[in-house]
């Protein structure tokens, strides 16, 4: 009797240990699947996918691993990263069945992934054009670019990726540097550029595109502008002071034009430059044309301090091509990053003052122009990093 009782207890303990191992293995497999699904979703965020694409990527990845009961929060609804569009949370509900002991065990696992990074963005990031002779950064005729708080990164691999003539200067305050993937011409660099072995990625690719569903369509233009969709851009502004109310401005087709004798001011504004068909894709990407930007008056703008577009003032739809941005004999004071990935930015006879990053295809300062960037990481939009698990 005693032996039978001991044997029964021993068998129960062995069964409990065996089933505990199965439960642990099931839990580990589900956690690995949640991690993989979250990373898959974060990759889509980095690739500028819509919210529906992010959710679909997580669900599809989990399904490939055999899990159907999946919840995807993009952005997360709670926790320290609630409503932050740099994060996505995936939760899997699963059941582990016992092999020896009766019954099954229900359990839940979750994973949080992100493309956020704590590194400050470059003060200037210039990709360069598609042609071998295209120059990504150029200063000439007594002009100057001065940067503090971060690096200048010239991602172009062209032979003449950066060029400074004999009476111009491009300077970065230590300990930051001028980093370049290609070649340089001229001696006006302070410090001497350091060659990169690997071309760094676009720091802001992956911002969510603003929705236009239910957003008011606005006529242009009076002395006070309201957030909304502007089908013909913001052009033909009246002389004097024009005030932009806080919010998101979607400029379709004709871009932004601030003429002489006009001063454009606004706090907490996000300007999205896109083509006239947005959000539809009536044309192939290589034929999509955003409106140009011309500044000959004054602009004084600050970015939103919270939400998806925190720290970003101007953002060009990266699917558009060959945008021209001309700043000529103007006054430009912008707090918030400026993202113009396909634009040629030309600054002439103008003093430009910024506290955040600038991303362009190319930047040229000419005719005694000065571009001064004192990068403040608190005010700059956070750059997009590689997809990774968070916390």
Q: What is the DSSP string of 345-356?
A: EEEES-EEEESS
CA distance 75 to 373: 32
Torsion of CA 271, 273, 275, 278, to 10 degrees: -40
Nearest to 312, CA basis, from 241, 216, 381, 389: 381
Q: Which residues pair with 351 in a beta bridge?
A: 331, 370
CB neighbourhood size of 296 (10 A): 17
DSSP, res 153: E
Tell the burial category of 102 from Cβ atoms under 10 Å away from its Cβ (0-12, 13-18, 19+).
Answer: exposed
CA distance 164 to 143: 9
Q: Does residue 212 sit in the same domain as residue 237?
A: yes
CB neighbourhood size of 175 (10 A): 6
Residue after which a domain boundary falls, among 116, 134, 158:
116
In a domain? residue 389: no
CB neighbourhood size of 187 (10 A): 11
Q: Give yes or no for a contact between 215 and 209, defined as CB atoms under 8 angstroms apart.
A: no
Q: Does residue 130 sit in the same domain as residue 172?
A: yes
Q: Does residue 67 sit in the same domain as residue 151?
A: no
CA distance 72 to 85: 13
Parent domain of 45: 2-116
Q: Does residue 310 sit in the same domain as residue 203?
A: yes
In a domain? residue 180: yes
In a domain? residue 377: yes
Tell me the pTM: 0.80
**pLDDT confidence of residue 3:** 43
In a domain? residue 137: yes
Q: Does residue 244 sit in the same domain as residue 146?
A: yes
Residue after which a domain boundary falls, among 95, 116, 137:
116
> Which ranges of the chain have pLDDT less than 70?
1-21, 98-103, 281-288
In a domain? residue 391: no
In a domain? residue 78: yes
**pLDDT confidence of residue 4:** 46
**pLDDT confidence of residue 6:** 45
Q: Does residue 268 sit in the same domain as residue 217?
A: yes
Q: Does residue 12 sit in the same domain as residue 31?
A: yes
CA distance 244 to 53: 32
**pLDDT confidence of residue 199:** 77
Q: Does residue 97 sit in the same domain as residue 216?
A: no
**pLDDT confidence of residue 234:** 96
Sign of CA dihedral 116, 122, 123, 127: negative
Instruction: Dig out the tokens for 356 from the structure.
Output: 């955040």
How many distinct structural domains can be found in the chain? 2
Q: Give yes or no for a contact between 250 and 269, defined as CB atoms under 8 angstroms apart.
A: no
């Amino acid at each position: 009797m005693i032996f039978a009782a001991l044997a029964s207890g021993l068998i129960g303990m062995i069964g409990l240990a065996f089933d505990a191992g199965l439960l642990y293995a099931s839990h580990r497999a589900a956690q690995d699947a949640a991690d993989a699904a979250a990373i898959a979703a974060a990759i889509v965020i980095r690739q500028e996918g819509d919210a529906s694409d992010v959710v679909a990527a997580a669900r599809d990845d989990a399904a490939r691993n055999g899990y159907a009961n999946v919840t995807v929060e993009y952005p997360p609804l709670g926790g320290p990263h609630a409503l932050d569009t740099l994060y996505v949370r995936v939760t899997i509900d699963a059941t582990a069945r016992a092999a020896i002991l009766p019954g099954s065990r229900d359990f839940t696992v979750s994973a949080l992934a992100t493309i956020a990074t704590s590194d400050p963005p470059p003060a200037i990031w210039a990709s360069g054009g598609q042609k071998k002779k295209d120059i990504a950064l150029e200063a000439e005729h007594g002009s100057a670019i001065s940067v503090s708080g971060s690096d200048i990164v010239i991602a172009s691999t062209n032979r003449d990726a950066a060029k400074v003539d004999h009476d111009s200067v491009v300077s970065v305050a230590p300990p930051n540097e001028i980093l370049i993937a290609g070649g340089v011409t001229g001696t006006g660099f302070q410090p001497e550029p350091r060659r990169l072995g690997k071309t760094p990625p676009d720091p802001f690719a992956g911002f969510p595109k603003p929705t236009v569903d239910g957003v008011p369509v606005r006529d242009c233009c009076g002395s006070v502008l309201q957030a909304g969709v502007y089908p013909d851009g913001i052009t033909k502004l009246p002389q004097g002071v024009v005030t932009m109310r806080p919010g998101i401005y979607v400029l379709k087709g004709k871009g932004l034009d601030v003429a002489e004798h006009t001063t454009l001011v606004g706090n907490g504004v996000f300007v999205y430059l896109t083509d006239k068909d947005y959000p539809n894709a009536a044309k192939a990407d290589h034929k999509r044309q955003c409106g140009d930007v011309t500044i000959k008056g004054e602009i004084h703008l600050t970015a939103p301090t919270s939400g998806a577009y925190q720290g970003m003032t101007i953002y060009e739809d990266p699917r558009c091509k060959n945008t021209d941005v001309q700043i000529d004999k103007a006054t430009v004071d912008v707090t918030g990053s400026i993202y113009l990935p396909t634009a040629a930015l030309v600054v002439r006879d103008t003093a430009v003052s910024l506290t955040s990053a600038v991303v362009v295809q190319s930047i040229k300062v000419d005719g005694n122009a000065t571009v001064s960037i004192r990068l403040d990481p608190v005010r700059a939009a956070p750059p997009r990093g590689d997809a990774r698990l968070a916390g």
